[in-house]
Amino acid sequence: MPHHPKHLGRALRGAIGVENQLQLVDEDGYEPEPMPLNPAYCCVPMGCPRQKTEPIDPDNPGDAVRVLCNNENCDMGKWMHGECFEQWEQHVLAFLRSCGRARSWSEKQRMQNLWTKKGYDLAFKVCDCRCGRGHIRKDLNYIPQAKSVDTRPKRHKKKPTERSMPNLSKSYVMPHNPVNIAAIGTGRPQLRIRTSSFSSTGSSPPSSAGTPPLTPSNTKSKFDFFTDAAQAASGNIFRKRTDFSVFNMLPRYLQNPYQIKMEDEGPHGNDETRCFVLTNLSTHQVTSVRCAACLIELPVFDKYPLIDGTFFLSPQSYNSELQVLFQHKMLHLNAVCMRCLTGHGREIRCKACRTQWLGAMLVIGTMYSYDIFAAMPCCARRLGCKNCHQTILDPGCTFQFFSEYSKVLQCPHCKVEDYHFIKPIKDVFNIRQSIC
């Protein structure tokens, strides 16, 4: 039956009215927060994923933390999100654990001294501001705004009546804390066993450090990755090297402190390379790394030599997902074992010219700030463009420094800019066991 135009108009007006009513309800229920008039953006050095989407209102910062830069012309901002600041603060604390006199401090002392002159004089090295010309620190003079108190009347629970009280003569419930049954009737005082802080739900104080929990708990401790209890107490998650017998496999001419990095550079904590490596590894709770060539597991030690091989930084990830911030660049921290460096037991040969790659001249147990595979090209294929595969640099015309092979270059043929000399290891080398 066809609708009359008059009735159709009423139906349309009614539908539009309902739609507008629902739209108003939605807008009232999900009203977006207004943008601040003078927004500030998070200036955490490691980069904030919410920098553009969640600006900070200086007039109402909430849980944001204010920081200061010693560069007067800094324009990177003075605010960090609360979560971003906590993550960055843990990164700085991890560095402080390996610095000089701070190694003997407790965790509470490190936290108290971190942003004072006593601790900041040691930790400022990892507090670089994003402006590139200063260092940032927490503003201790800033007083956070007090949180608003809920003034709504609270409901009072009704007092239990006499009918709801349990009859102790009929049913008796055993107490939560177990008692010493053997002591009953012997005249000895019955001791109340204190509950562990993992299983306690009340306001009782936690048990002492020497009292084990009564029942097993599924809660994972943040110190589960420590190798032993002594290291957990000192804040050190890395192994302690007991001897140097592992280096007996090296040729005699390589068994010297010039080829093996040793602890001989002044007081502990003054070496920036060691602090940089251990700080980034402890931040990610990594105590071992894989060799980029043979994939064996290499434990990390707390002193030089840091590993039975060497670390190196590269834009290329060689079986390593650990990224670090070095000179305002995000790079991958990779490692190579001693056997692959010296060719003892394993051979790494170029697929194009069959030349064996050897890193015997590299110092063992430290870190290089460039890609060690790209630094020693052997043929024209290693110096080719990633895009057009044409040779960029003549093999006879080498760079003056090894680090120049790890920089961004422009191909003169296709004009593409890339790390052309840094290629995946499987595309360049053949790795096989050698007969020794």
| 359-393 per-position pLDDT tens digit | 988 999 999 999 999 998 989 889 999 999 899 98
Distance CA 243, CA 247 (A): 9
| Whole-number pLDDT of residue 336 | 95
370: Cβ–Cβ under 8 A, 6 or more apart, which residues? 312, 313, 314, 402, 403, 405, 406
Residue scoring higher pLDDT (3 or 97): 97
Angle 192-194-198 from CA coordinates, rounded to 5° = 155
Query: How far is residue 219's CA from residue 233's CA, in Å, rounded to a whole number?
Result: 19
Average pLDDT, the chain: 76
State the pLDDT at residue 143: 81
Cα distances (Å, whole numbers) of residue 96 to 6, 115, 276, 287, 330: 81, 11, 11, 18, 22
Name every residue whose Cβ is closer than 8 Å to that of residue 72 and which is 6 or more positions away in sequence: none
Query: Using 50, 70 and 90 to split pLDDT, how confident is the model at 332?
Result: very high
Give the per-residue pLDDT at 271: 76
Contacting residues for 167 by C-beta, under 8 A, at least 6 apart: none
Mean local confidence (pLDDT), 101-119: 85
Q: What pLDDT digit, counting tens, does each position of 170-195 carry?
A: 444 444 444 444 444 444 444 444 43
Mean pLDDT value of segment 248-255: 88
Does 224 score more than 60 pLDDT? Answer: no
**DSSP strand pairing (367-368 vs 309-314):** parallel
Residue type, 200: S
Q: What is the pLDDT of residue 215?
A: 40
Nearest alpha carbon to residue 390 among 403, 399, 381, 401: 381
**Residue 237's pLDDT is what?**
87
pLDDT at 158: 57
| pLDDT at residue 423 tops 70 | yes
3-state secondary structure of 267: coil
Q: What is the pLDDT of residue 269?
A: 45
- What is the DSSP secondary structure assignment for residue 270, as one 8-state letter? -
Could you tell me the pTM of the whole model?
0.51
431 phi and psi angles, rounded to 5 deg: -115, 125
Residue 39 falls in which region: left (phi positive, over 0), alpha (psi -120 to 50) or beta: beta
Q: What is the CA radius of gyration of the chain?
A: 32
Which residue did the predictor score with more confidence, 159 or 412?
412
pLDDT tens column, 41-93: 898 888 888 877 888 888 888 889 999 999 888 888 888 998 899 888 888 88
H/E stretch holding 272 reads helix 272-283
More confident residue, 345 or 287: 287
